[in-house]
Structure formats: C-alpha cells, structure tokens
Amino acid sequence: MPRLAYVDGQFVPLAAAAVNVEDRGLQFADSVYEVVAVFNGRLFDWDGHAARLARNLAALAIAPPMADAALARVARRLIAANRATEAILYLQVTRGVARRDHVAAALRPTLVMTVRPFDFAQRVGQQMAGVGVITVPDERWARCDIKTTGLLANVLAKQRARDEGAFEAWLVAADGRVAEGASTNAWIVAADGTLVTPPLTPRVLPGVTRAAVIEAARERRIAVAERDFTVAEAQAACEALITSTTVPVLPVVRIDGATVGDGRPGPITTQLAAAVWDRVAVQTGYRP
C-alpha cells in the first residue's frame, strides 16, 4: 500500500505531496511543527502536543488551520489510511502562501502531515547500554522555546555528533551552561539524587516528554530541580540522560568522552524510563 500524506485538505500519495514554491515555510522557515509518537495506531500524549502547537502558533501570530478536535480527527484518519501501528506523525503548519516578502498580511495557513514507521523497540537496547553526547556552542536564535522549522543550527550539531560517533549534541552557552540537546532535553542526577534539568526559558523547548518525566519523578518522590548546570557538573554527575518524543528516555554514559558515573545506566534513569513506558502502555496498550 502506498504511503499517504495530508496536504492542505487532501490525502495524497506521499511521492506526489507538495507545497507551493512560495509557501513561507519553504522560503522563510515561517512555520511550526510537532512530532507525535504513535503506538498501536494510537496517538501518544496528543493533548500535550496540541497545546504546544496552539501556543507556538499564537506566539508567531499564525492562524490555527482548524480546531484541535478536527486536527486530531485528520491525524487519526491519516494514521489509519497508512495502516500505521508503531510510527511517527509529523505535523507542520506554515503561515501560508504569498509573494516573497519579509512582511506578509494575514494568510490562510498551510497544514501538512506525514506518517512514517518507527521502531521504538530499538530504544530498549540503547537504554540498557547508554549513549554518548558531545557538547557544541549554542548558535541558535533567541526563541528556542518556539518549535519552528528553522533548525539549521540543530541539524549541524546533530551531524557533528554523528560524525564523532555520539548519539546527541548538547548545546552550550559561552559560560558553560547546558541548554538542551539538538533534538532532546538534557538532564543530570546530582550527588544527592536530585533530578536536574534546565528551567524553561526562551533557550529551552518545553518538551512534552520533559513534562511527563517531571511528573513521573515527583510521583515517585524523586526530587526535581529546574536549574542550570554546566558541562563540568554534568561530567561529574551520578547520572545523565536525555528525553524526547522519539527517545523517550535514554541514559547518557559519556559526555565529550568523559565517563558519567560508572559508565552504566543509573537507577534513577532506569526507573524513569520504565515510568514513561508505563505511561505509553496506559494510553495505548503498547509495551516494547
């Protein structure tokens, strides 16, 4: 069965899916996006993604393409049409199509959705072994809390990580503070067992999985501190980890080649990974 995409009101074969050459998402990255996990054909943590999408559209004064309930219906129809069970839903909303000019009047937004298979079970092996990260200077724009498609700095950081044999790149300010990963949120576990992650500022994306992990930690009486930490503090920490929709929780056992803790996934990270998979099971019935 050919894969289908949704483009501006139409379900079309993925190979034929296209947007106007003067779409502002293409020419200016004047657009926002969401990536949503699909387990057993069901959307995971949809409410969190829909709320963040609405916030980001409002921040950029882009009109919502449709009501939240209608958006969910279209997403589910696309998942069903692709017979997707374990997959990633990609959703993008651009400001719309207009003659190329930095300033645009109110436009009808462009909505694009795609679904692709994704093997979440692969993360189980990575959770058991842990992954490495490198650190790179944070060269992104000043509103990283808005999930726009302007991701060139992230792409270059991620490519550098892969070229150096690491899974992720942590983006670091000039004073040594870690902001987040190129496509993940960053965490450490301090010596007293406190789970630490940078606070939500314009430099940090409010991750949907980030919020779920904080909730899970507090339910398990794990202390949580939303504060900055440096690369040096992370390298000396008991544990480190990253989270995102596609991860969802991965232990970090090396930072710039330095071993974190004893070089193995720690107990708090392992507990939080299990908690997120429990959350997946409750919502969708899926277990890796």
Residues identified as active-site: 147
- Tokens, residue 92: 């993008």
Q: What per-residue string of b and e applies to 179-190 under the rule 16 or more CB within 10 Å gives b?
A: bbbbbbbbbbbb
Q: Is the dihedral of CA 149, 153, 154, 158 positive or negative?
A: positive
Identify whether the C-beta of residue 18 lies closer than 8 Å to the C-beta of residue 7: yes
- The closest of 62, 251, 266 to 168, measured between CA atoms, is 251
SS (H, E, C) 171-226: EECCCCEEEEECCCEEEEECCCCCEEECCCCCCCCCCHHHHHHHHHHHHCCCCEEE
Q: DSSP for 51-84, please give it.
A: HHHHHHHHHTTPPPSS-HHHHHHHHHHHHHHTT-
| Nearest Cα to Cα of residue 199 among 183, 220, 180, 172 | 180
Q: Is 24 left (phi over 0), alpha (psi -120 to 50) or beta?
A: alpha
How many residues are recorded in the chain? 288
Which residues make beta-bridge pairs with 168? 133
Which residue do the tokens 């019935």 mark?
Answer: 285
